[in-house]
Amino acid sequence: MQGKLPTIQYLRGLAAMLVVASHALLYPLAEQTIAYGRLGWLGVILFFVVSGFIMVTVTGPGSFDPVAFLKRRILRIVPLYWAFTLVAAALALVEPGLFKTTVFDGGQLLKSLVFVPFYNPASHGLHPLYKLGWTLNYEMFFYVGFAVLALLTARRRVAVLTIAYVALALTGALRQPVDAIPAFYTSFMPLAFVAGAWLGLAQIEGYLRKVPAAVLVGLGIMALAGLVQGFTWDHGLVEDPVAFIGLLSFAAATVALVVGLEPVLPRVRFLETLGDASYSIYLVHIFAVAATAGVLLRLLDTTDPLVTNAIIAFAIVAGAVAGLMLYRLVERPLMGRLRKLA
């Protein structure tokens, strides 16, 4: 891929802000609904689709160096994640009352740092000590699988990944494993990477560069239908497999749509910057949202819906601003230094 696509950066920013908005709504500041959780889950699904797209497009149609690939991905993901994991662990140790779903545990800390899934009794799920890191466990799983197939062509690599991830998801659906590691790796969530990988393949083979108008309209309809289905299907579970189908349809169709419209869409620098900072926003926003909402909840009358909505808005803005600051002051200069090691 000749440089980054601005539209893909827009979607990365959108995905991050969906997660921020979800957590601002779930703090809680308002009546809880399953839609609030689905909002953040949609952001994660969109992240995964974009990730699959990017990995295929940046590695190109042929083979690539798996060691260099993994080195770059580790340098990109691990330092900031480790920093936030260690900060969360330290705070949970000295001020445990600050957290609802984080409890210090040395064994959990070690597993979190090496991306080993485990059942976390504090969060009642397969979450690392820094809860947001569950998505990074899947990212690392995808990176390793992608690197293992580095000697294949892109088309064969995507095909093998598809077969493997579909087989794992079917195994999980049929066997319903209860142990943490098999339950985590037989989830249907990695299918979002597969969808993105096929879109990346379509991009490098030229199919997304000149998309007919009728196909673009069809993608728009698919995205809208998927969004409606994903948010209206309610069987009491946020991460419902049927809702996943709708939300994945939205995410995949949206990626295809915006990439297909790339030549005619305006370049919006702020949205591009938001996408550049999406990883920082994702990692730091929970602290900013909790601090902002926590202070305002104590100072203001939350019986007034307008005040409650204002608090939510301030919390969302705080999450984005904190992420942009972290990106400019820490992530960007750090990545500049670490790239010299890649």
- Say whether pTM exceeds 0.85: yes
Residue 28 CA to residue 161 CA, distance in Å, equals: 39
Q: For residues 59 and 69, is the Cβ–Cβ distance under 8 A?
A: yes
Q: Does residue 253 fall inside a structural domain?
A: yes
Q: What is the pLDDT of residues 184-197, one digit of tens each?
A: 999 999 999 999 99
State pLDDT tens for residues 6-40. Answer: 999 999 999 999 999 999 998 755 456 789 999 99
In a domain, 1, yes or no: no
* Long-range contacts of residues 21-27, Cβ cutoff 8 Å, at least 24 apart: 21/316, 23/285, 23/286, 23/289, 23/319, 24/289, 24/293, 24/312, 24/315, 24/316, 24/319, 25/312, 27/289, 27/290, 27/293, 27/315
Q: What residue numbers bound the domain in which 293 lies?
A: 6-341
CA distances from 219 to 82, 204, 248, 250, 258 (A): 38, 19, 13, 9, 10
| Tokens representing residue 75 in the block | 């340098």
Tokens 């869409």 map to which residue? 265
Segment 152-172 mean pLDDT: 97
- CB-based burial of residue 78 (10 Å sphere; 0-12 exposed, 13-18 middle, 19+ buried)? middle
Residue appearing with tokens 């299918």: 191
Q: Taking residues 132-161, report their average pLDDT.
A: 96
* Residue 322 within a domain: yes
Average of pLDDT values for 96-114? 84
Domains in the chain, number: 1
Q: What is the pLDDT of residues 186-243, one digit of tens each?
A: 999 999 999 999 999 999 999 998 889 999 999 999 999 999 999 999 988 999 999 9
Q: Is 266 domain-assigned? A: yes
Q: Is residue 32 part of a domain?
A: yes
Residue 148 lies in a domain: yes
